[in-house]
């Protein structure tokens, strides 16, 4: 039962975070809905931490990474974080201290690397294998996943937590893809040069 809950909760959290990101930063979604969604996600995030200390360790590492990188920078994420901390501290969440100390820097480096390729898109769009690999590696935030996989390999974490993390990032990326304008949408809403001159 726990396995199914985690494999469902992690992708919901990943997709929800991206929805709130794009609502506030990119203005692609309704901010009011995002503000309603934020504390609900906070409750789910905290509940997921409470039911499993391994999941708590992974989710705390993610929080540390985005917090230290300064990415909790809108009202939605702040509201969600307050809910998470209030529940986690109040209920006394359990987590793995040494793995958290090890994983948090990897989560932070994932965010740093992701920002580097995002701010230098022209440079990393080069066709060389090295540029493509770096772009993929940090765009998909693989450092934390590899670190978690290392803990799975030595038997400190169960394999399901690696798949839960894959689902988390996968749902985040799917939501990002869904947020991007489709060519069909552009053709409908964008006025052509010829039409503009006629107007």
pLDDT band at 122 (very low <50, low <70, confident <90, very high): low
Residue 119 lies in a domain: no
Distance, CA of 124 to CA of 136 (rounded, Å): 10
Residue 14: name the closest of 181, 178, 175 by CA: 175
Q: Is 129 exposed, middle or buried (0-12, 13-18, 19+ CB in 10 A)?
A: exposed
Query: Which structural domain range is residue 176 located in?
Result: 2-104+159-198
The pTM for the full model equals 0.83
Residue 118 lies in a domain: no
Residue 74 lies in a domain: yes
Residue 10 lies in a domain: yes
- Give whole-number Cα distances, 124 to 64, 69, 107, 140, 142, in Å: 27, 21, 21, 14, 17
Question: What percent of the chain has pLDDT above 90?
Answer: 60
Note the pLDDT tens digit of each residue in 143-160.
Answer: 999 999 999 999 999 999
In this prediction, residue 189 carries a pLDDT of 30
In this prediction, residue 181 carries a pLDDT of 65
Note the pLDDT tens digit of each residue in 32-41.
Answer: 999 999 999 9
Mean pLDDT over residues 165-179, rounded? 91
Residue 120 lies in a domain: no
pLDDT band at 63 (very low <50, low <70, confident <90, very high): very high
Residue 35 lies in a domain: yes
Q: How many domains does the chain have?
A: 1
Residue 192 lies in a domain: yes
Residue 112 lies in a domain: no
Structure tokens at 85: 């901390």
């Amino acid at each position: 039962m726990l396995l199914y809950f985690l494999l469902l909760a992690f992708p919901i959290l990943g997709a929800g975070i991206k929805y709130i990101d794009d609502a506030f930063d990119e203005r692609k979604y309704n901010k009011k809905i995002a503000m309603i969604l934020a504390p609900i996600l906070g409750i789910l995030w905290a509940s997921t931490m409470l039911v499993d200390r391994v999941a708590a360790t992974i989710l705390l590492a993610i929080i540390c990474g985005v917090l230290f990188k300064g990415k909790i920078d809108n009202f939605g994420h702040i509201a969600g974080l307050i809910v998470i901390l209030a529940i986690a501290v109040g209920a006394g969440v359990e987590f793995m201290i040494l793995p958290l100390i090890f994983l948090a820097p990897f989560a932070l480096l994932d965010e740093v690397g992701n920002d580097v390729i995002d701010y230098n898109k022209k440079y990393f769009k080069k066709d060389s294998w090295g540029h493509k690999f770096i772009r993929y590696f940090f765009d998909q935030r693989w450092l934390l996943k590899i670190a978690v996989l290392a803990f799975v390999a030595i038997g400190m974490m169960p394999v399901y937590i690696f798949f839960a993390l894959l689902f988390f990032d996968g749902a985040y990326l799917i939501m990002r893809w869904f947020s991007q304008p489709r060519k069909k949408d552009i053709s409908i809403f964008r006025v052509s040069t010829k039409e503009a001159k006629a107007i």
